[in-house]
Structure 1
Amino acid sequence: MPTPDKLVILDRDGVINQDSDDYVKSLDEWLPYPSAIDAIARLSRAGWTVAVATNQSGIARGYYDEATLAAMHDRLEALVEAKGGEIRRIVHCPHGPDDGCDCRKPLPGLLEQIRQDLGMASLRGAWMVGDSLRDLQAGEAVGCHSVLVRTGKGERTLARGKGLERAWVFADLAAFADWLLA
């Protein structure tokens, strides 16, 4: 069973793949950062459990469907597996901002789902890596260490500066993995 001190939870858009203000709506638009795929595989091979927690309100907005999202995640897992790694769990929130769910980050519902799925008592001491304040807030709500990457919306988040007092900041997921594995 994984332990929180060896768990890394990743946001998807802007951390693992290029983000878009117009939403990533198809497999063709899902463009992974090669260094992020490699970083996930390296973490996994080094004994870290890697999970993904992603808001996907484009489903609620009708921009794409669950099958399209599944195709993106199948591709992500295949790329990581081709490098000898594994993503242990991917969870997503399909709701819009006004749907009143408990899973949309900054709420910690997705992270709680990961905790339950992995059979963990707590997420205290795990790492939450994101490119927006809401990613970090979700992690902090359950005791995760916060990591902001400068990719995706990370530079904009950093420029705002609010709520980042406890965050570690890295250029990208690969730089964080380098530091964590050093």
Structure 2
Amino acid sequence: MKYQAVFMDRDGTIGGTGHFIHPKDFTPYPFSLEAISLLKSIGLRLFAFTNQHRISRGEAQADDFIQEFAQLGFDDAYICPHEPDHHCDCHKPAPGMLLRAAREHELDLTKCIVIGDVGSTDMLAGAAVGATKILVRTGWGEGALGKFRDSWSETAPDYIANNVWDAAIWIKEQI
């Protein structure tokens, strides 16, 4: 198989607007559940990877997100709880969450896919490890392709999808 796993961002990619929504109030887009099912049905492992600095502010708990991702069907979840200025190795665009997942699940990240709506975080994290990068137009995606394109001009997505369902179909066609 060409790909081993898919890493998927949460806010703006799976659901929401790109802004923080507490897991108890978060609703995935209707097509997101279908996309998750499709990716799993073709034998891919599925991992969430998300920056959630509201955890460090006490506005949510990591367990809230872990439970949410488990209910959505993800195999595991990687969550950065730090503020952006904390300078940790896990806050996207740093690739720490991807590298940790690779160690824990014996993945070759060059055989993995990153799906997200933010070029300056999701796409740069994917580029740092040589993953295939899919930018979705939902959430912050349109802005990432337009107004904010200069903030991640050193890389380009391998595919631009309308949403995660479109991304899942593209992945299936690549296998």
TM-score band, normalised by shorter chain: 0.7 to 0.9
How many percent identity over aligned positions?
32
1:79 and 1:51, CA in 2 relative to 1: closer, same or farther beyond 3 A?
A: closer
* Corresponding residue number in structure 2 for 1:143: 130
Tell me by how many angstroms 1:71 deviates: 3.2
Tell me by how many angstroms 1:100 deviates: 2.0
TM-score (norm 2): 0.87
- Structure 1's unaligned 5+ residue stretches are 81-86
Q: Secondary structure at the match of 2:85?
A: coil
Q: Secondary structure at the match of 1:124?
A: helix
User: 2: CA distance between counterparts of 1:38 and 1:75?
Assistant: 16
Q: Secondary structure at the match of 1:54?
A: strand
Q: Secondary structure at the match of 1:111?
A: helix
1:13 and 1:20, CA in 2 relative to 1: closer, same or farther beyond 3 A?
A: closer
1:4 and 1:64, CA in 2 relative to 1: closer, same or farther beyond 3 A?
A: farther
* Corresponding residue number in structure 1 for 2:59: 63
User: 2: CA distance between counterparts of 1:53 and 1:26?
Assistant: 14
1:93-115 Cα offsets, whole Å, 9 max, x none, are: 00001112110000000001110
Structure holding more helix per residue = 2
Tell me by how many angstroms 1:19 deviates: 3.1
- Which residue of 125, 147, 150 maps to 2:111? 125
* Corresponding residue number in structure 1 for 2:48: 52
Tell me by how many angstroms 1:27 deviates: 0.5
Which residue identity is paired with 2:163? D
User: 1: CA distance between counterparts of 2:12 and 2:18?
Assistant: 8
Tell me by how many angstroms 1:75 deviates: 3.5
**Equivalent pair of 1:27/1:72 in contact (CA under 8 Å):** no
* Corresponding residue number in structure 2 for 1:83: none
Does 1:33 find its partner at 2:23? no
Q: RMSD value over aligned CA atoms?
A: 1.8
User: 1: CA distance between counterparts of 2:172 and 2:28?
Assistant: 22
Q: Secondary structure at the match of 2:13?
A: coil
Q: Secondary structure at the match of 1:138?
A: helix
Q: Secondary structure at the match of 1:166?
A: coil
Which residue identity is paired with 2:137? R
- Which residue of 128, 153, 162 maps to 1:171? 162
Tell me by how many angstroms 1:172 deviates: 0.2
**Equivalent pair of 2:137/2:162 in contact (CA under 8 Å):** yes
Aligned length: 168
1:68-102 Cα offsets, whole Å, 9 max, x none, are: xx23442443243xxxxxx2211100000111211
TM-score (norm 1): 0.84
**Equivalent pair of 2:70/2:76 in contact (CA under 8 Å):** no
- Which residue of 122, 133, 141 maps to 1:154? 141
